[in-house]
């Protein structure tokens, strides 16, 4: 499955390790939440980056104590209508300060890219290569937003206030 980061398809450095499968000696790996929570300390001791695929019906409270040691958190959209992962993304970014890769996994549609980015996602597992082109085009289409979120973009109101401040300072 192609991985989109920064508007283009990139090589996914993470390998998915199935529940019950043997652990690779090193390298970046993605585990299911069940496998990770069965023995997080053992998995976190291994060399290489570690990521977790977190279902949207599971509380983040089980994940939060380990965030500072995870290189990637993949939030799973079981259907395109499932919105709980949006809330999880915002909580991870804004409340818990998670600043590493936040990946959207599962049933995601092109028209959701902007909303997902605004919620804090910065990596997307897409179904086909054409979705990467659509992502880049969609992200260029919108440059100003009214609602504040954790993606760091200045809102329209803040932009106006900055302009007024700079105009009054120059007078």
- Residue 97: strand pairing partners: none
Query: What does the pLDDT read at residue 150?
Result: 64
Q: What would the pLDDT profile of 8-40 be if each residue is shown by its tens digit?
A: 788 999 999 999 898 888 899 999 999 999 999
Please indicate whether residue 167 or residue 15 has the higher confidence score (pLDDT).
15
CATH architecture of the domain formed by 3-144 = Alpha-Beta Barrel (3.20)
Using 50, 70 and 90 to split pLDDT, how confident is the model at 133?
Answer: confident
The structure's pTM equals 0.83
Q: What would the pLDDT profile of 89-103 be if each residue is shown by its tens digit?
A: 999 999 999 999 999
Which distant-in-sequence residues (6+ apart) come within 8 Å of 3 by Cβ?
9, 10, 11, 12, 103, 123, 124, 125, 126
Q: Compute the average pLDDT of residues 138-167.
A: 77
**Least confident piece of the model among 36-40, 46-50, 60-64, 163-167:** 163-167
Q: How far is CA 152 from CA 92, 117, 119, 147, in A?
A: 14, 10, 10, 11
In angstroms, the CA 19 to CA 143 distance is 42
In this structure, what token pair is assigned to residue 66?
A: 């380990």
Backbone angles phi, psi at 89, to 5 degrees: -60, -45
- Tell me which residue has tokens 């597992």: 125
């Amino acid at each position: 499955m192609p991985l989109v980061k920064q508007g283009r398809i990139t090589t996914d450095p993470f390998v998915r390790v199935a529940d019950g499968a043997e652990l690779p000696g090193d390298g970046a790996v993605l585990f299911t939440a069940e496998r990770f929570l069965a023995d997080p300390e053992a998995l976190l001791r291994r060399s290489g980056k570690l990521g977790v695929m977190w279902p949207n019906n599971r509380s983040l409270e089980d994940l939060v104590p380990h965030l500072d040691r995870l290189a990637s958190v993949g939030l799973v959209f079981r259907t395109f209508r499932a919105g709980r992962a949006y809330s999880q993304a915002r909580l991870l970014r804004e409340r818990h300060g998670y600043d590493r890769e936040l990946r959207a996994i599962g049933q995601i549609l092109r028209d959701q890219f902007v909303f997902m980015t605004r919620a804090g996602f910065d990596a997307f597992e897409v179904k086909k290569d054409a979705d990467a082109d659509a992502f880049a085009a969609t992200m260029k289409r919108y440059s100003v937003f009214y609602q504040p979120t954790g993606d760091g973009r200045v809102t329209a109101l803040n932009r106006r206030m900055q302009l007024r401040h700079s105009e009054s300072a120059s007078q």
